[in-house]
Structure formats: C-alpha cells, structure tokens
Amino acid sequence: MRVRRVQVNYVIIRVALCFAARYFFKKGRYTVIKNQHQINDEIRDREVRLIGENGEMLGVMSARAALEIAEQADLDLVKISPNAVPPVCKVMDYGKFKFETLKRQKEAKKNQKTVEVKEVWLSMTIDVGDLNVKAKQTLKFLAEGNKVKVSIRMRGRQNAHADLGVEVMNKFAAMLGNAAIIEKKPLTENRNIIMIVAPATK
C-alpha cells in the first residue's frame, strides 16, 4: 500500500512539473537554448561524409564509425549539412562552436544600428532664425544616422499656394548642404508638404 502511494505521488509530481515547465516557457520567463544540429548519438544515418577536426576530408563511412573517430579525439560528431547525400558531419568541440556562434551573433547585434525616422515641422511663414534652428536639429539627427521627415502643414489660404511651401523646403534642403541627400522630394499630400532627407553616404 505504501509503495502504491509513493508511486501515485511520484506521478502527480511529474505531471505538476510538466505543467509548470510549460507555463514558464510559454510566458517567456526562461530561455531554452536547443541544439541546432544533430550531434553524436542523435545522428542515425546509415552513411555520412566525415570532415576531420582540421577540415580534412575523411571520406564516407557509417555514422557509428564516424562517432568512434570523434570519441577517440575526445570531441563531438556534428551534422553540418543534413540535406547533402550522404549527410556531411564534422568532428569538433560542439560546446566551443556554440559559444563562438553566440558570441558572433551578439557582436553583430551590438554593431547593428537601428535607423529611425525623425520628424521636423516647418511653416510657410517661418523666419530665418527658426529655419536655422530646425536645420541644426536636422543635422544632428542625420549625424546620428537617422532619416528625417520634414513637414509643412498648410492652413486656410495656404493650400492654394503650395509652391511657396515647396520653396521653403528647397531652401531648407540647401541649408543642410552635403550632409544630407534628398530621398523624397517635396510633395503635397492632402494639407501637408512632405520631404524626406537621409544622411549622405560617406
């Protein structure tokens, strides 16, 4: 009776742990890093083409024989080209390989810059002083590698004189000099005139 009770409790605990694990992983509270390659005993192909630790071709052989070679070198057998015929495997330190891959991914992500689109508003009656302030602000955005959307909102009778707004845009673009390229020329969209400038390529 006691043994049966222990077995029942063991089953209940296992079920509870399974549900808890599914809950936490679904909520994203933990990150599980799975092997992206088949390694060692997971490789069950009849034949594989084996590459040695230093990149030398060791030929076609059974997966068992390839695994024995990897074990003799105290390394792992890793399937690197599963769709090849036969699949290609390599002898390597898989833990070190994963570490270096993760490190490269982090470095690439670190060096990857996100380009934002900033926005600057002008007006058809803007004075030279304010235009200079807006130009300096835009140059700062461009220096940071961002694009800038320059907008003018036309009000009332200004809608009949969109050409004046385009002139303001062209004057503004000239003030940016060689630091900017016009990615989208001034165009009228409903009641707005919109221009997009981007950092000049170095």
Query: Residue ranges per domain, the chain?
Result: 40-109, 117-199
Which parts of the chain register pLDDT below 70? 1-35, 112-113, 202
89 contacts 66 by C-beta, under 8 angstroms: yes
Domain 40-109, classified CATH 3.10.20.80, yes or no:
yes
Per-residue pLDDT at 33 = 42
Give the tens place of pLDDT for each residue, 150-183: 999 998 888 888 888 899 999 999 999 888 999 8
89 contacts 77 by C-beta, under 8 angstroms: yes
pTM: 0.46
Per-residue pLDDT at 66 = 93
71 contacts 63 by C-beta, under 8 angstroms: no
Phi, psi of 106 (to 5 degrees): -65, -40
Per-residue pLDDT at 157 = 86
Domain 117-199 fold:
Translation Initiation Factor IF3 (3.30.110)
Nearest alpha carbon to residue 197 among 130, 115, 126, 133:
115
